Chains A and B, each alone.
Chain A
Amino acid sequence: MVFVGSDGQLTVPTAVKIVIAGGFGTGKTTMVASVSEIPPLRTEELLTEAGVHVDDLAGIEGKDTTTVALDFGRITINTKVVLYLFGTPGQNRFWFMWDELATGAIGAVVLVDTRRLDSSFPSIDFFEHRGIPFIVAVNCFDGSQMYTVDEVRHALDLDEQIPVMLCDARDRASSKAVLVGLIQHSMNRLAAV
């Protein structure tokens, strides 16, 4: 692949991203892995013990720091566009990370495990409050579909416009269908404004 702009300089592709959110152990990393063209990568952000984002290394050495890990995958769309899929950090307290992830995102998939519906409430609140397009994907662990889509919608108190899909995060075709559902939802939202 060669990227040459009109001025003859090398250029870079446009990057877009989708956030894969949801409660602890709902299958976020599994979904990233099932659609990514590379094995999921992991990168770490540095925090002080108080949970403050370290954005400057000056004087950091004397301080106790901790890290928050992000899993992400990649889908090269074409020579000009690349899509990144970011799993949110398991611990909900790192909201600054969520802000960085959500800025400019196409939208979010909120994964839900029906055995622990409440663990995905904070994710839904986050995207609702920030007006970021999202869909809910019910990860059917071991084919267990304990509730219908309507029951999940009701239990999560979701707007009619928010799509709810059933999926198996381990399955590439299933995860791909979820991504397609999200992108279409984002396009509909764009058309509506």
Chain B
Amino acid sequence: MTGRDDWWYDEAAGPLVRPYAMVRGRTRPNAPDLHLVTQVRASSFASDQTSLTVEHREIMALCARPLSVAEVAAYLDVPLVVVKVLLSDLIERGDVLVQTSTPKIPDRDLLQAVLDGVRGI
């Protein structure tokens, strides 16, 4: 990823301020629950992206494949709470698809699949 150092930096206010400025004062009234492992991915029918900020577009690029909210935050290098606001914007636009269910304890078939998968690594 390029430009990460640049966008962390804000001439007037110094580092770390920009991510907060990006989402200043905004809440997520209608947003779905976003947990650490909630899977998100860019829609194949994404709308025109010219009006999006650099950070939103960076998320769209990352989410070309499905990722967890935690991964998006880590790759973008912003706190979780910030990435949740940005993701909510994109979900509201229909540009990002989200798995809506809250994490629930896996059933037997799912556990068996995970067991087989882990044995295979």
Q: List which B75-100 residues lie within 8 A (CB) of chain A.
A: 75, 79-82, 85, 97-99
Q: How far is the CA of A44 from the CA of B117 in the complex (A)?
A: 28
Contact of B113 among A72, A78, A176 (CB under 8 A): A78
Point out the residues of chain A lying under 8 angstroms from B24, CB to CB. Answer: 57, 61
Query: When each residue 97-121 of chain B gets 1 if its CB lies under 8 Å from chain A and 0 otherwise, what string results?
Result: 1110011111110111111111101
Indicate if the CB atoms of A45 and B110 lie closer than 8 Å: no
Indicate if the CB atoms of B97 and A10 lie closer than 8 Å: yes
Query: When each residue 19-46 of chain A gets 1 if its CB lies under 8 Å from chain B and 0 otherwise, what string results?
Result: 0000000000000000101000111111
Q: List which A90-145 residues lie within 8 A (CB) of chain B.
A: 100-101, 103-106
Q: List which B46-94 residues lie within 8 A (CB) of chain A.
A: 65-66, 68, 70-71, 73-75, 79-82, 85
Chain A's nearest CB lies how many Å from the CB of B74?
4
Looking at A37, A43, A186, the one whose CB has the most chain B CB atoms below 10 A away is A43
The total of chain A residues at the interface (CB under 8 A) is 56
A3-B41, A12-B66, A190-B108 known; A60-B74 Cβ under 8 A:
no
Q: Is A56 an interface residue (CB 8 A)?
A: yes
Q: How far is the CA of A15 from the CA of B114 in the complex (A)?
A: 10
Contact of B114 among A42, A74, A81 (CB under 8 A): A81
Measured CB to CB, the residues of B under 8 A from A are 20, 23-28, 35-41, 43-44, 65-66, 68, 70-71, 73-75, 79-82, 85, 97-99, 102-108, 110-119, 121
